[in-house]
Amino acid sequence: MNTLRPKLTLLDEHPTPLQYLSGLSQELFRELYIKRDDVTPFGGGGGMLRKLEYLLFDAVNSQSDTVVTVGDIRSDHCRLTAAAAAKYGLRSIVISVGNYDGELSGNLLLSSLFGARTVIKKDDGRPEAVQLEETAKAVMEQEIAQGHRLYFIPMGGSDATGMLGYYDCAAELDKQAQEQYLQGATVYVPVTTLGTYVGLYCGLKAIGSSLKPVGIAVKPLDEDRLGDYFRQVKETYGFDFDDSDMHIETAYIRKGYGEPDRHVRDAVRLMAGHEGILLDPTSSGKAFAAVLDMIKEKKIKLGRQVIFLHDGSMAGLYEKAHRLKLEKELQDAIQILP
Quick: pLDDT tens for 164-196: 999 999 999 999 999 999 999 999 999 999 999
Structural contact between residues 167 and 206, judged by C-beta atoms closer than 8 angstroms? yes
Q: By C-alpha distance, which of 228, 282, 216 is closest to 252?
A: 216
pLDDT reported for residue 74: 83
Average pLDDT over residues 311-322: 93
Predicted confidence at residue 3, as pLDDT, reads 66
pTM: 0.96
Order of strands, sheet of 248-249, starting from the edge strand that comes earlier in the sequence = 18-20, 31-36, 305-310, 186-191, 212-217, 248-249
Q: What are phi and psi of 165, to 5 degrees?
A: -60, -45
With cut-offs at 50, 70 and 90, classify the pLDDT of residue 325. very high
DSSP strand pairing (18-20 vs 31-36) = antiparallel
Determine the pLDDT at residue 282.
93
